[in-house]
Chain A
Amino acid sequence: MQLGFNWLNSVLFKHPAIALRPEVPQNAITAACTPAQPGAGGMPSEREAASNAAARGRSNGMDDPEQRWPESRTILIRLLGGLGLLAFVAACVWGGPAIAAQANLPWWAWIALLFVFCFCIGIVSVLAGVGGGVLFVPIVASFFPFHLDFVRGAGLLVALATGLASSPGLLRTGLASFRLALPLGLVASTSAIFGAALGVSLPTNLVQIALGLAIFGIVFLQWRAKKSEHPDVPKADALSAALQISGIYIDVAARKKIEWKVHRTPEALLVFAGIGVVAGMFGLGAGWANVPALNLLMGAPLKVAVATSMLLSTVVGTSAAWVYLNQGAVLAMVTVPSIVGAMLGAFVGVRLLHVVSANVVRKVIILTLTAAGFRALLTGLGI
């Protein structure tokens, strides 16, 4: 595994589903804010431009004939993928727990399966642009013999580890804003403790029913929420002005400095209180809701919203994870392979971005989550 974890940051720059720009070398960021002097560190010279174009070609796989996939292979992959998905959804809705209960596998086979499964979740979560925790909890709870408590504990730690690994790079480039995360993190992490304590205390069937309903809410959010790269914020609200929440980042693709500010901070604090409860209660992490709240409600630019969401998920995940750890809901044998599998999967997912349609994956995720939501609801109702 790459120790620097910079590959996780590259997810945020390459991801088509969240409309971010292709990854650009760090020196290009520096070049973007210097005066236009061809070949002298400002606008690129012809050779640099050609080199950049070639790099973009390699990155999206469109210009290089060797990178193109034969059409027949694409159709076959889609057909197999569609059939596999249908089988998965059917198993998820009707047979998940039965499969888990009847499969008389040795412990190491379950752990190996969990590792492979988390590796796949890591890939898919990158391709679809959703947090790993939101996929991990409902699906692992459906197919694996672990109690929901251990699944939620591991889910939170998967989301936390991903956020921890990617935050340093995002903070350093100025895309993640520590100031923006400060008040929101305080509110969300406080409510996450409440959510986690509630989740550990409530009867499992009640939590399953609530999880099913929460998953339906997340599916609706993923399906309906639009994204805005640079929302219009006419005036910062009084609270965000007092907290000095504003910033500047370099948009490499547009070659300009973007100054941003936010509004509706009081409303956002209320929303983040709710996000914290759900994140803590179900071990889903907070990534599924942070971006819409930061981008659409507060008006943070999309890149800032995505990056700050990663930082926020570390704060929210931290407070809830302590509760799960203290209540004995963290099993090393479940948690560590999940973290490692998801991180390795995300590493591979970055490299698959150019051959898989993010839009298709997004639809697959919505369908899968709907099935997992039904499964959680049915399990909770004892059906």
Chain B
Amino acid sequence: MAKVRRFVSPEQSAYARWLELGVRIGMAGLLIVFVLYLIGYPAAHVPPDALPRYWGLSAARYLAAVGVQPGWGWLQLVGNGDYLNLVGISFLISLTMVCYLRVLPETWRKGDMISAAIILLQVAVLLFAASGVAVFGHS
């Protein structure tokens, strides 16, 4: 393994380490929260047996029908089983950004300014995506 490590940069190793840890925590958390949702604890905003009335609607109509704001509006409902699951999903989606931020200082210290700039741009792009600004309207 040591010979293989010789060909892997410290940034790449650090990225892998953080990603692996994050995926383990995220997947375990997601499974636990989903099982709790299935057994009804905490109570869901939209109970599972009511879902068939809504899952054929478009996302925009679904949000309107169940009274949830688009964007980060679902955060107000994380006390409900169904929306608590979105915390686990968001955690998994955030991992890439966290790992990029993890390797940024090392890249910067090495004087690799081009890579550091790309990493910063990538984080900015992901933050923009997470902001909820990117939408052209609703179908």
Give residues in A with beta carbon < 8 Å to B.
Answer: 1, 3-5, 26-27, 29-30, 33-34, 106-108, 110, 145-147, 149-150, 153, 157, 160-161, 164-165, 167-169, 171-174, 177-179, 182-183, 185-186, 189-190, 193-194, 196-198, 200-204, 207, 242-244, 247-250, 257, 314-315, 318-337, 339-340
Closest to B8 in A: A174
CA distance A314 to B94 in the complex (A): 10
Number of contacts between A and B (CB, 8 Å)?
A: 228
Q: What residues on B are CB-neighbors of A179 within 8 Å?
A: 9, 115
Interface CB pairs A-B, < 8 A, 18: A4-B20, A149-B59, A157-B92, A164-B23, A165-B23, A171-B8, A186-B125, A200-B60, A201-B135, A318-B95, A318-B126, A322-B126, A327-B70, A328-B60, A331-B82, A332-B82, A336-B89, A337-B34
Which B residues from 5 to 38 make CB contacts under 8 A with A?
Answer: 5, 7-9, 11-13, 15-17, 19-20, 22-24, 26-28, 30-31, 34, 37
- Does B23 contact A157, Cβ atoms closer than 8 Å? no
- Does B135 contact A200, Cβ atoms closer than 8 Å? yes
Partner among B3, B11, B26, B138 whose Cβ is within 8 Å of the Cβ of A200? B138
Q: How close is A249's CB to chain B, nearest CB, in angstroms?
A: 7
Task: Tell yes or no: B51 within 8 A of A by CB.
Answer: yes
- Does A319 contact B129, Cβ atoms closer than 8 Å? yes
Q: How close is A289's CB to chain B, nearest CB, in angstroms?
A: 19
- Does A318 contact B139, Cβ atoms closer than 8 Å? no
CA distance A116 to B132 in the complex (A): 33
Task: Tell yes or no: B101 within 8 A of A by CB.
Answer: no
Q: What residues on A are CB-neighbors of B16 within 8 Å?
A: 167-169, 171-172
Closest to B122 in A: A186
CA distance A112 to B125 in the complex (A): 36
Q: How close is B79's CB to chain A, nearest CB, in angstroms?
A: 14
Q: What residues on B are CB-neighbors of A157 within 8 Å?
A: 89, 92-93
Partner among A3, A147, A334 whose Cβ is within 8 Å of the Cβ of B28? A3
Q: How close is B52's CB to chain A, nearest CB, in angstroms?
A: 5
CA distance A65 to B28 in the complex (A): 40
CA distance A243 to B92 in the complex (A): 29
Q: What residues on A are CB-neighbors of B115 within 8 Å?
A: 179, 182, 243-244
- Does A182 contact B19, Cβ atoms closer than 8 Å? no
CA distance A106 to B71 in the complex (A): 30
Q: What residues on A are CB-neighbors of B122 within 8 Å?
A: 182, 185-186, 189, 315
Closest to B63 in A: A328
Known contacts A30-B4, A332-B86; decide if A182 and B118 are in contact (CB<8 Å). yes
Please give me the 8 A-B residue pairs with the lowest Cβ-Cβ distance, nearest first.
A332-B85, A168-B20, A171-B16, A326-B132, A322-B129, A329-B59, A201-B136, A149-B59
CA distance A198 to B137 in the complex (A): 9
Closest to A250 in B: B4
Q: How close is B104's CB to chain A, nearest CB, in angstroms?
A: 12
- Does B139 contact A200, Cβ atoms closer than 8 Å? yes
- Does A330 contact B89, Cβ atoms closer than 8 Å? yes
